[in-house]
Amino acid sequence: MSFQQIGVVGAGNMGSGIAQKIATEGFPVVVADLGAEALQRGKQRIQETLQQGVERKLFTPERAAEILGRISFATELGSLRDCDVVIEAIFEDRAAKQQLFAELDRVCAPKTILGTNTSSFYVRELAEATQRPDRVVGLHYFYHPAKNRLVEVVPGEHTSEETRRRAWLLQELIGKTPIHSADAPGFVVNRYFVPWLNEAVRLLAEGLADIATIDAAAKQRFEIGMGPFELMNVTGVPIALHAATTLGEELGPFYAPAKRLAEQVAAKQNWDLSGTPDPQRFAAVGERLFAAIAYVACELVEAGVATIEDTDIGARVGLRWAKGPFELINAEGVARTLELVRLLLAPWKEQRVPALLRRQAEHGKPFAIQLVKSEKLGGLATLTINRPDALNALNPEVVKQLASAFHATAQDPEVKAIVLAGAGKAFVAGADLKFFVDALAKNDFTSIYNFTRQGQDLLLAFAQCTKPVIAWLDGLSLGGGSEMALACDYIVASPRGSMGFPETGIGIYPGLGGTQRPTRRMGVGLTRFFVLSGAPIDAKTGKELGLIDELVSPADAPAVFARLAAKPKPAPRAVPTKVPEAWAPVAEFFTAHELEAIVGGKLPPPAHPLAAKVLPRLAQKAPLALRHAFRLIGEGAAKATTREACELEMQSLREIFGTADAKEGLSSAVERRRPSYTGR
């Protein structure tokens, strides 16, 4: 499943952005366009976007030049012959796309997967123009594709499962957040986003509110930066008309473009955003726009276009909304949502209220949103934490769902091993800090204790499971995420995997075994160094230290999982007596000296460049957190079992969360400011 070269057809805004993103992630890209001038404009767009990245210090000028150097430009489609995947990103014209796919089918190697970025046409229609419909798939990117992480992966009627998996893997490798969509009008996000825009125009035409009021009400209701009219001006009013026309032709009058929208396009003008919003109309506007979203979201899930979870991820990642449609429905209340949808549809006699919404209202419960996906393939069960926009951060609901899925999988006789993974670019970026902040604000230590206990019990269950438990560290892990990985029998990481323990920088200590399990892999001294300093551990370093068992490419990971699954479950780890030679001075330093001497800065640093760099930073950490972590690591190493060692963390939990430093550190992290610690 490796990829050597990717092709993109079309050097416009979308094509150039897609190519840039792929090249940024290290893959050679060939951009093909029939016009030399179009290619030059595409190259210029990429250069300008890269320069913006340099100015924002996202990467250096050298890195920008390296990215551009991976992109080649060609006017001949034959230059795409040896590409593993070719992504079509030309203008939205059915005949032109079908002609292009027929030509790509002729010139590309049999192995090549053909992807389409269409937002208007069925994937199956384009696949029919080829002799390889099993290797044609929809890959619908969102603007700007070099920045927006969302991509809808859309199998056509004849797309093979292998093609879907390869296409999905490629999106993960280039740092995208893929969601699944059936081959249906509007796919997932446009299916509800375009009616949301359209409903805003209807509100204007009805005189319920002016543009300034509608935009302001939408921004307030959906917690977004731009309202529907400003968004249409930015993305192009004709695009909104085209999308609504397509949906209307397929799905009926409710989806068809408002007359006022067609008039605006005919006038060749943007919307006039001037004026003063009227707050008295915010509630009515917000309810109509919300009802449109709720209706369409329920309708598309009921029709099998997407899951509840992917529908919400699409809004949060692709549109950057604070909440997805079903989260909004749950917040509004299902019964109230049903009432608003009925009012919305009253003029549209041919539209019915989705049975999905009616049934949920009858149950009187919020929609269940699954935060953990479970998949079985060839004796391997993969449990994926599916909060990519939140970097899969742990909260009580995630831990509850993960525990339920894990225990059910552990009892499944068909499962030989369990793989834990995270969706998107992270494994698990620690705990959801807002949960702690909210609990502390209410003096609710019980919730914190119960959450930590549930997490501890789950991680201890990994060791009790008779089947090998494997962590797939294909991205960032911090705090609770690194602790979860370390609780597994094996940690398999890709080169982009990482670990880290930032807790002492936010006023607390690692509470899910982070002061205990690392000692069973790299000893007391190195555990103290990394836990006290919070220094990040890349995958290569993790492998060197013994934290990571296997370092592989994502394409090779399934074979490694299968090999580990065939092994007996390993015995519990003991504290090692030796560490890698290069790290021996660091280990000795943190074992031989007391905390006060280390933090005081009077001792010469150990002979290691990282230690010399991070030791001065210890003085900026929370003093009480450092003290607790230092003690817990030492005391836990003497315990006979991991369970006994981890219990030490629970015993000091109330004390650490009761400190002023914990409140300050956690609050500062949520508020994104530098903490000020007093040692109280």
Residues with catalytic roles: 119, 140, 152, 190
- Give CA angle at 419 (413, 422), nearest 5°: 140
Counting beta carbons within 10 angstroms of the beta carbon of residue 270, is it exposed (0 to 12), middle (13 to 18) or buried (19 or more)? middle
Residues 153 and 164: their CA atoms lie apart, in Å, by 8
Q: What's phi and psi for 621, nearest 5 deg?
A: -80, 170
The 8-class DSSP code of residue 258 comes to P
Sign of the Cα pseudo-torsion (65, 68, 73, 78, in order): positive
Q: Cα separation of 477 and 498, whole Å?
A: 6
119 in Cβ contact with 38 (< 8 Å): no
CB atoms within 10 A of CB 1: 15
CB-CB contact of 126 with 161 (8 Å): no
The DSSP code for 421 is: E
Copy the structure tokens of residue 461: 């269950």
Upstream peptide bond of 144 is cis (omega within 30 degrees of 0):
yes
Unique residue bearing structure tokens 């001006």: 233
> How far, in Å, CA of 140 to CA of 116, rounded?
7
How far apart (Å, rounded) are the C-alpha atoms in residues 177 and 389? 9
Q: Which residues lie closer than 8 Å to 355 by C-beta, 6 or more apart?
A: 302
Tokens found for residue 287: 């309810």
Residue 64 contacts residue 88 (beta carbons within 8 Å): no
Q: Which is nearest to 382 in space by CA: 457, 300, 323, 470? A: 470
- Which residues lie across from 498 on neighbouring strands? 538
User: How many CB atoms neighbour CB 571 within 10 A?
Assistant: 7
Query: What does the chain come to in residues?
Result: 680
Residue entry with tokens 């997805």: 324
Q: How many CA atoms lie within 13 A of 172 on its CB side?
A: 24
C-alpha span between 139 and 51 (Å, rounded): 27
C-alpha span between 420 and 488 (Å, rounded): 9
Closest CA to 107 of 66, 142, 74, 62: 74
Structure tokens at 21: 């993103």
Are the C-beta atoms of 114 and 86 separated by less than 8 Å? Answer: yes
Helix (H) or strand (E) holding 119: none
Looking at residue 134, the DSSP 8-state letter turns out to be G
Report how far residue 329's alpha carbon sits from residue 338's, in angstroms, rounded to the nearest whole number.
Answer: 9
Which string of DSSP letters, residue by residue, matches 433-460?
A: HHHHHHHHHTT-HHHHHHHHHHHHHHHH
Torsion angles phi and psi, residue 75, rounded to 5:
-100, 0
Residue type, 23: A
138 beta partners:
116, 154
CA distance 633 to 625: 12
Q: How many helices (H) and strands (E) does the chain have?
A: 30, 18
